[in-house]
Amino acid sequence: MSEGLEVTGLVTDFETRRSSIRALHGVSFEVGESEIVGIVGESGSGKSTVVRSIIKLLMPPGRVTEGHVDFFGRSLLDMRERDLRAIRGKEIGFVAQNPFSALNPVLRIERQFRNIAKAHGVDRGNQTRVHAIELLDATGVKDPDRVIDGYAHELSGGMAQRVVIAMALFLNPRLVIADEPTTALDLTVQRQVLDTLTRLTSGSGRSMLIVTHDLGVVANYCDRVLVMYQGRLVEQGPVSRVFVTPEHEYTASLLESVVRPDAAPPGGTATIATAGAGRAGR
Ligand SMILES: Nc1ncnc2c1ncn2[C@@H]1O[C@H](COP(=O)(O)OP(=O)(O)OP(=O)(O)O)[C@@H](O)[C@H]1O
Ligand SMILES: [Mg+2]
């Protein structure tokens, strides 16, 4: 069976008695072991719907009506909720867009780590705390010993996002899914947080599926890119190919929007600020 994530023919509808919206029209792609894959596309193109469909965390009334999701040989969409819950958090870590929505405001940070461990039957008391502090430190949280005894509201946005990343990585998942993990943060903090996330992902054998509207992030961190447009995956391939010779009109226009006019050689074509990169090309 497959080594990683294999999504085939995903169709997702938001259906109420009054209306039915098809948000995904048969989306297929793979994320191999150790691979970092980016999803780009305009607002409303279906990026969040794709990642949430995979782990069955769609907002109601969303429902996957067709398709198949294989994760290391297991069919996620056919699983019972209980079995899926055992995979979420443990084998698949999820980093949501807004860190504060992912943190519990009334529980100390340590308790939240302990609860994750408990939910998967691996809470070891003080050992769990020590491991959490190590991970907070690895994600760049300052004073992790103090932070772990505090509450979410005491954290800046950047620090809160690092805590959420530490939680997503806590049980050493094989796959990390991040849905615009840094949009709530300012630009320099965004890059720092993404550096941390990708550093802790690459080299560990983990794979990552990351939704972003930032093509620079894709160029810097991803091996491959998926381009969504109106509920369809219109193009996918290695970043080094897609960003240099896009095949789809929409990809071309997306790249044009980040063309640096000042980088155009006299009489030549403008270069794309992010082109020619990709993780493989570094
Ligand atoms: N809760 C919902 N109810 C009804 N339709 C929805 C709902 N959520 C999403 N949709 C539909 O699915 C489409 C894709 O939404 P999705 O949130 O996946 O887009 P996105 O690419 O993540 O956008 P953004 O960049 O703004 O986060 C929307 O255009 C909308 O038609
Ligand atoms: Mg979204």
Give the three-state DSSP class for 12.
Answer: strand
For residue 16 and ligand 1, the question of a CB distance below 6 A is answered with no
For residue 23 and ligand 1, the question of a CB distance below 6 A is answered with yes
Predicted confidence at residue 96, as pLDDT, reads 83
The answer, yes or no, to whether residue 273 has pLDDT greater than 90, is no
For residue 179 and ligand 1, the question of a CB distance below 6 A is answered with no
Number of Cβ within 10 Å of residue 120's Cβ equals 16
The pTM for the full model equals 0.89
* Residues with CB in 5 Å of ion ligand 2: 47-48
pLDDT single digits (tens) 164-210: 999 999 999 999 999 988 777 777 887 788 888 888 887 778 999 99
Predicted confidence at residue 266, as pLDDT, reads 45
Q: How far apart are the first and last CA of the chain?
A: 31
Mean pLDDT of 35-60: 95
Of all protein residues, the one whose alpha carbon is nearest to atom 5 of ligand 1 is 14
